[in-house]
Structure 1
């Protein structure tokens, strides 16, 4: 009897492992890990400390926001003003790079980050471009005429548009800006950011209109359902979902077979 019981237990354990294994997500479906403004849940966003932390946590991409100074330099900052994330006040476009880099860009998050500064795009690329993929958002590009050309030139100067065409992805809410960038660097994948209102979400007509220049459609997490992801994929796009902050949302999104997750906490994957 003991040998029969042992045999039955063995059969049960084998069957359990087979069933458990069959529910695992295939490796090809595991979404890429993207650090939102670095690791913005742990460090002041868009700073060197945040980007280093994200890389330490094993991100596949760093997501950054690009704007332009009064003296036409590209800088990494999310808001059009410096009020929230520095000890200064004013609009990014009204200040020079030197004035911006004199500010404390970390103490608002925690005093231990008081030495963090606003980064120039060129300085960021020098330090981080070879360490991970880059998801570059053109932030409020209508405020900065010519920003598309400046970003494109920085990438070209470093040869970052050669080889792996998905190493760099450029995204924005501004579709006219994305179209301009696509004409400048057609080899760089474009992502359309969307945060739709109401229950209809994205129409098929809108999705079709993106196909002339975009490779990604990147919706806000509050829009997400399985049907939307299926339609985005049906139209030939990949999709990166933003901004994910809860582990339960990661498990749900994996079941939807999305292509990437943008998170303040890259270690929740």
Structure 2
């Protein structure tokens, strides 16, 4: 009888402990669920960067945002490409700003990545916005805006024409390494969140610098290699969020999640929890 009672007691304790643990696992969101999953140039580890194929792959992988790079052609059309030349990611050569839209869109922007992506085009900014607004968040980077006078106004015009100057759930964000450009853009689109990008040279950014950024920016998005506990805390104390770039390894994502970042910009959306923030 004693043996039966002891077995029952042990079993009850085990079940209660396991049940409590299982409930806690189900009821408590993980840190990863709180981190925005930003597909860098689309899911660029899986499809050619800054193409519709890469953006569609990001949607399929349930990323929270696509990050896109915006530049301007010789005939002042907005296009989505990272480098200031077309040399690396197309079968053409030359500076983006020296080519017309027609010349840009005649290029093959996919074969360099894989033959299955042959004839992918460099998309226009409007094409990407129209295809993905309301479908996934869009983090818009103004790439080298100093080369394209007036690009801030052109981007603002596209968003305002589509009544996107009041984004829901911060699903449109504009960022740049050119911080003066972000001040101009913020004046044009005061209700759209803006971010400042920071490279390795910003290691040791001061509280005064962060306070200045916070007067016009909502995000401080640095190179992942300069992110520390102290930096994350300082950014949060200024009322900004922090989305480091560019994660290309699982251990990098895990480290940033443990440091308490708000989002991760990555070529591999699978390295970050797959459900978007503000779903």
Counterpart mapping for 1:1-269 below 5 A = 1=3, 3-5=5-7, 7-12=9-14, 14-15=16-17, 18=20, 21=24, 25-26=29-30, 30-164=34-168, 166-197=170-201, 200-269=203-272
Supply the distance in 2 between the matched residues of 1:194 and 1:78 (Cα, whole angstroms): 16
Supply the distance in 1 between the matched residues of 2:265 and 2:12 (Cα, whole angstroms): 42
Cα deviation for residue 36 of structure 1 reads 0.7
Cα deviation for residue 27 of structure 1 reads 6.9
Given that 2:166 and 2:192 are in contact with CA atoms closer than 8 Å, whether structure 1 keeps it comes out as: no
Given that 1:33 and 1:262 are in contact with CA atoms closer than 8 Å, whether structure 2 keeps it comes out as: yes
Supply the distance in 1 between the matched residues of 2:226 and 2:18 (Cα, whole angstroms): 36
Supply the distance in 2 between the matched residues of 1:24 and 1:249 (Cα, whole angstroms): 24
Given that 1:165 and 1:188 are in contact with CA atoms closer than 8 Å, whether structure 2 keeps it comes out as: no
Sort the Cα spacing of 1:130 and 1:15 in 2 relative to 1 into closer, same or farther, 3 A.
Answer: same
Gaps of 5+ in 2: 273-279
Runs of 4+ in 1 over 6 A off after TM superposition: none
Aligned residue pairs, count: 268
Cα deviation for residue 78 of structure 1 reads 0.2
TM score, norm. by length of structure 1: 0.92
Supply the distance in 1 between the matched residues of 2:69 and 2:262 (Cα, whole angstroms): 21
Supply the distance in 1 between the matched residues of 2:35 and 2:183 (Cα, whole angstroms): 26
Supply the distance in 1 between the matched residues of 2:5 and 2:253 (Cα, whole angstroms): 43
RMSD: 2.1
Sort the Cα spacing of 1:18 and 1:220 in 2 relative to 1 into closer, same or farther, 3 A.
Answer: farther
Supply the distance in 2 between the matched residues of 1:26 and 1:65 (Cα, whole angstroms): 31
